[in-house]
Amino acid sequence: MEVQVFGVKKSADTRKALRFFAERRIKTHFVDLNERAASLGELRRFAQKFGVTAMIDQTSARYQDLGLKHSRMSDETWLTKLSEEPLLLKMPMVRQGMNFTIGLAEPTWKEWTGR
């Protein structure tokens, strides 16, 4: 089993996710969004499952800094914005095969791992 974790090192929730999988000796591929943004294709996979709105962290400092509170954009425009500004994403975003989660989702991860 292998999981892919999208997030930033400064995010406490991302660190918790990485620790969760490390404690269970599950191979983890960490994508640091400060170093490399998620591709549009990867973001679309999460959007198909949860919707674009669920992916946006409206409480993030970056969301406030960009003044996006009253913005109205299409899903495709939002996905482009999220790929350009990864700090707008809720973190961590975790993918295991065709299973996806956004944010801390330990109960779901336990189902995936059986542990």
Q: What is the pLDDT of residues 4-45, one digit of tens each?
A: 999 999 999 999 999 999 999 999 999 999 999 888 999 999
Predicted confidence band of residue 72 (pLDDT cuts 50, 70, 90): confident
Q: What is the pLDDT of residues 40-51, one digit of tens each?
A: 999 999 999 999
Domains in the chain: boundaries: 2-113
Q: Is the dihedral of CA 99, 11, 84, 26 positive or negative?
A: negative
Which CATH code fits 2-113? 3.40.30.10
Predicted confidence band of residue 106 (pLDDT cuts 50, 70, 90): very high
Contacts of 34 (CB under 8 A, 6+ apart): 8, 9, 86, 87
**Which pLDDT does position 37 carry in this prediction?**
86
Please give the model's pTM, rounded to 2 decimal places.
0.88
Q: How far apart are alpha carbons 62 and 51 in whole angstroms?
A: 20
**Phi, psi (5° rounding) for residue 91?**
-130, 150
